[in-house]
Every structure is written in C-alpha cells, then in structure tokens.
C-alpha cells in the first residue's frame, strides 16, 4: 500500500514537472500546490519547531506559574545556578486525572455539537451564512462540502458557561485557570495523537489520495501534513473541527476564566482585562460569523493537515493566544483612560481594516466582480490556472479597494489588533508582547508562502498583478 502511494506520488511529481515546463514554454497557466521537494532551510525550520515549540509553550506558562510572568528571571536563576531545569520541572503541576476528565468532557461536547447539531442559526439570524457550504476547489479538483455550525456551537457553549456561572454552579468559572498546566498536558496528548493519526491515515486510508502530498521527508510530512482534507466519515473534517473547536471556542472561555480569577483574587476586574476580553471576543465572534468565508482561507484551501495544524490548534493556539489574560491575572494592570482609549481605538481600527479587506475579497470572488467596492465597480486582472486533474480554470485578482493599496492589508489589520491586545497589558513585562512578535513572524511568513504559491499557480498573471499592486503589507513602504 505504502509502495503504491509512493509510486503514485512519483508519477504525479513527474507530471507536475512536465506541466511546469510546458506552462513556462507554451505560456500555459501553471499548476499549484505545496512543494514536493524540501530544501534544507525548510527542513531545519520544521525540525526546530517540532523540538522547541512544546518547550516554548511550557516556558511561558511556567514563567507565569513560578515567576510572576517574568521571562528573564528563570534564565537568570538558571545562569546563576540558583535553580536547575529539574527543579523548575518538578515544581510544575503534573498531569491529573481530574484535568483529563474535564478535557475529555470538553472535547467530546465539542465533537457532539459539531457532528450532531445541524446548524439552525442561519435560519434564525438574518445575514448569517451557515449550514452546508462548499469549500474551495482542491489542487486535485475536488470541492468538499462542510457543515458550518461554529457560531451555533459557540453560542450554545457560552450560554451554558454563563448559565453555570449564574444558576447551576456545577463548576467554578475559574476552572480553566485552576487546571491550566494539567490541562496543557491533556491538550498535548490530543495534539500529538491527532497529528500521528492523520499522518498514519494518509498512508493507510487517505480520504482523497489525489490530494495527498509525500515529500519523501518524514519530518516534513509529519509537520506539514500529507492529506489535504482528512475526514472521518462524510462530515468529520479535521481542519474545520480542530481549528475552530476546541481551539477558538475555548479562546473566549479561557479569557472568561481569567476574568473570574481576577475577580476572585482581587475583588474587582481591571479595565485591561475587560479590554482583552472584549477585543479578543470580537475577533473570535468574527471568525464564527464568517466561518463559511473561512473555508476559502489558506488554512482550509492550501494547508495540508499535519502537526502544524493538529498540535498547533490543540496547544499553541489556546495557550499562547491567551497569554495577555493569563498575565493580567498575575499583574492586574489598571490603565489610565487615555491609554485604555488608545488601545480600544487601535483594536477597533485594526479590526475594521482586517474585516473590510477580507469582506471585499469575499464579495468580489462570490459575485465574480459584479459588485461595488468603495462606490465603484472593482478593477481586476484576469488569470487562469490548471488543477491537478488537468482542468483549466479562470480566476480574478482584484486591484481596487484595500486590495489595490497593498496585497495583504488583512494581515496588517490583524497585526494592529494583535498589538492592541498586547498594549492593553501595559509596559511592565515583555511576556504579553510575545503575541505580536509571533503574529508578525506568522503573517510575514504566510505572506511570502502565499505569494510563492500564487506565483506558481498563476504564473505570468501573478507578475502582472504585483506590477499593479507592488506593496505587500504597508502601502508605499513594504
């Protein structure tokens, strides 16, 4: 089985090479998809991340637990011989069965909501797009169907959270904070289990063999994934489930748990904690409100499902995207009105740019250019590309609205919002600023990755587009 898959991969690689050549020579549209070959630079990045990412998460969470969120103190103590790695490790809370029970109930509940409660919200809320939706065309030419019910899952989960906090009192609203490190071990177990399962499944029983990519390097395959859209049965889609829930549904609950902890410890909630909760809730709600749009983003359209998405969604996202709230439990910063207002403005303007840019592209693509952008008909570049099955397809790249100012203003808006979350924590420590550093690396890298992919997909048409819109993130600058 493994051999036949490898042969198939070789055959497709040969086809890919042939296609690439003829498109160059004959002026035909290029093929696209993730790289088949892995260079040494990418490989060392992959191995570095596989080795260090779990430690980065542990380090930040441990720094809050043992060193009041100081990132430098553990290093200084280690350097001066005042502590050892072993004593840091032994002071960290270990795995507990009660955390495992909480985590198992949480994930099972999200699976239940995802699989067993078909979307009703699109029938009740005007303007919301939910229920069964089409994804984008995969490199093999497949269009998958998705049950979009994330907003409903988020609403039900949060309604139950508030009902518990105010009426039922089954558990304390600080439950997440109180079990934070034991829960991290459980999240790691799930993250590794799901990535390993997806990796093995790709060899033994892939959902769509034509959309699998084998690079020949086991580390790269494990990290970046082999299968494009692995599924169990017809509807359990790994990418949609693991990215949205439990990761993003949990994000707002984690913040609420931090807020409850602040209240419990200090008898009040600071304006910084409220700002972080409100701005991040806006981002999360936006994600679920636009979940159908999310089906057309890079995560679903172009990334294969491996450790990067599987472990990242289970561990990296819930633990590192929520560092601001965690920090504010240890340092209850009360901002001046001017500072709070500036943070709020930065967050809202960033959100506006992020959302409007994404909305413009979505509207443009849905209507195939028959829409109004900033009061006039959008301008665009006609382009074409081949899918893996040899089919020729046409597409358009918009050159007006936010997309005419720079090629990725949605990333710029996202970065402004990210900076606002960090600035809400004041300037006492660098730990809450990890997020903006990480998001900058993530989105700049994504920008480069996406442009590389678009360039191989659209060939000369992409060059025409970049001539018209020369800047990536900041109009006139970069």
Can you give the binding site for ligand NDP, defined by CB under 6 A? Answer: 297-298, 354, 358, 361, 395, 397-398, 403, 408, 410-411, 414, 446, 450, 454, 457
Distance of CA 340 to the CA centre of its chain: 27
Is-contact 194 314, C-beta < 8 A? yes
13 vs 446, beta carbon nearer ligand NDP: 446
179 vs 418, beta carbon nearer ligand NDP: 418
CB of 442 to ligand NDP, least distance (A): 6
CB of 447 to ligand NDP, least distance (A): 8
CA gyration radius, the chain: 23
CB of 140 to ligand NDP, least distance (A): 15
Structure tokens at 207: 């959902």
411 vs 433, beta carbon nearer ligand NDP: 411
271-289 and 150-163 are packed helices; what angle lies between their axes, rounded to 10 degrees? Answer: 140
187 vs 333, beta carbon nearer ligand NDP: 187
88 vs 397, beta carbon nearer ligand NDP: 397
Query: Which secondary structure element, helix H or strand E, spans residue 33, and what is its range?
Result: none
> 12-47: string of b/e by CB count within 10 Å (b at 16+)?
bbeebeebbeebeeeebbbbbbbeeebeeebeeebe
Count CB neighbours of 207 within 10 A: 21
146 vs 185, beta carbon nearer ligand NDP: 146
CB of 326 to ligand NDP, least distance (A): 18
Query: Which secondary structure element, helix H or strand E, spans residue 386, and what is its range?
Result: strand 380-386
258 vs 351, beta carbon nearer ligand NDP: 351
Q: Which of 469, 474, 423, 464 is nearest to 444 (CA)?
A: 474
CB of 463 to ligand NDP, least distance (A): 13
Spatial separation of the C-alpha atoms in residues 235 and 48, rounded to whole Å? 34
CB of 73 to ligand NDP, least distance (A): 28
77 vs 450, beta carbon nearer ligand NDP: 450
Query: Which secondary structure element, helix H or strand E, spans residue 239, and what is its range?
Result: helix 238-242
158 vs 464, beta carbon nearer ligand NDP: 464
CB of 170 to ligand NDP, least distance (A): 31
230 vs 378, beta carbon nearer ligand NDP: 378
CB of 104 to ligand NDP, least distance (A): 26
Which residues make Cβ contacts (< 8 Å) with residue 43, sequence separation at least 6?
217, 219, 220
Count CB neighbours of 162 within 10 A: 11
Is-contact 434 441, C-beta < 8 A? no
- Residue 410 buriedness (CB in 10 A; 0-12 / 13-18 / 19+): buried
CB of 466 to ligand NDP, least distance (A): 10
308 vs 411, beta carbon nearer ligand NDP: 411
- Residue 54 buriedness (CB in 10 A; 0-12 / 13-18 / 19+): middle
Q: Please say whether the dihedral angle defined by the alpha carbons of residues 86, 92, 98 and 103, taken in this order, is positive or negative.
A: negative
Spatial separation of the C-alpha atoms in residues 443 and 310, rounded to whole Å? 19
CB of 224 to ligand NDP, least distance (A): 15
Please identify the residue of the shown chain whose CB is closest to the bound ligand NDP.
297
CB of 405 to ligand NDP, least distance (A): 11
Residue with tokens 């580390």: 219
Q: Please say whether the dihedral angle defined by the alpha carbons of residues 27, 135, 353 and 351, taken in this order, is positive or negative.
A: negative
């Amino acid at each position: 089985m493994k051999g036949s898959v490898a042969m198939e991969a070789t055959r497709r690689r040969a086809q890919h090479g042939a296609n690439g050549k003829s498109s160059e020579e004959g002026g035909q549209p290029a093929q696209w998809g993730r790289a088949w070959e892995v260079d040494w630079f990418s490989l060392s990045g992959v191995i570095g991340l596989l080795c260090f990412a779990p430690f980065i998460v542990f380090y930040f969470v441990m720094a809050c637990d043992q060193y009041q969120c100081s990132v430098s103190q553990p290093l200084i103590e280690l350097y001066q011989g005042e502590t050892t790695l072993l004593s840091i490790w032994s002071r960290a809370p270990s795995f507990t069965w009660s955390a495992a029970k909480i985590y198992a109930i949480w994930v099972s509940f999200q699976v239940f909501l995802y699989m067993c409660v078909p979307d009703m919200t699109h029938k009740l809320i005007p303007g919301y797009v939910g229920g069964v939706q089409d994804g984008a065309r995969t490199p093999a030419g497949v269009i998958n169907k998705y049950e979009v019910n994330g907003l409903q899952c988020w609403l039900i989960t949060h309604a139950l959270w508030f009902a518990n906090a105010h009426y039922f009192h089954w558990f304390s609203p600080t439950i997440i904070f109180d079990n934070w490190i034991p829960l991290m071990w459980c999240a790691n177990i799930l993250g590794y289990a799901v990535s390993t399962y997806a990796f093995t499944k790709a060899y033994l029983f892939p959902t769509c063999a034509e959309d699998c990519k084998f690079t020949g390097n086991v580390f790269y395959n494990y990290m970046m994934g082999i299968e494009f859209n692995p599924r169990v049965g017809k509807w359990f889609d790994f990418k949609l489930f693991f990215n949205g829930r439990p990761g993003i549904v949990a994000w707002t609950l984690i913040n609420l748990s931090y807020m409850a902890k602040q209240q419990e410890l200090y008898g009040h909630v600071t304006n910084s904690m409220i700002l972080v909760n409100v701005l991040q809730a806006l981002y999360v709600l936006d994600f679920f409100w636009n979940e159908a749009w999310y089906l057309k983003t890079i995560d679903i359209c172009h990334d294969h499902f491996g450790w990067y998405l599987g472990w990242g969604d289970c561990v990296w996202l819930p633990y590192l995207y929520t560092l601001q709230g965690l920090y504010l439990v240890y340092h209850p910063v009360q901002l001046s009105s001017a500072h709070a207002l500036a943070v709020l403005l930065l967050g809202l303007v960033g959100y506006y740019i992020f959302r409007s840019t994404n909305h413009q592209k979505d509207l443009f693509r849905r209507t195939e250019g028959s829409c109004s952008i900033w009061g006039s008909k959008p301008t665009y570049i006609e382009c074409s590309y081949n899918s893996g099955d040899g089919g020729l397809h046409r597409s358009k790249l918009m050159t007006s609205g936010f997309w005419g100012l720079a090629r990725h203003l949605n990333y710029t808006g996202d970065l402004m919002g990210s900076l606002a979350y960090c600035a809400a924590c004041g300037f006492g420590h660098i730990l809450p600023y990890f997020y903006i550093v990480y998001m900058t690396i993530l989105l700049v890298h994504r920008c480069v990755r996406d442009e590389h992919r678009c360039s191989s997909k659209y060939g000369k048409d992409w060059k025409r587009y970049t001539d018209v819109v020369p800047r990536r993130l900041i109009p006139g600058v970069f």
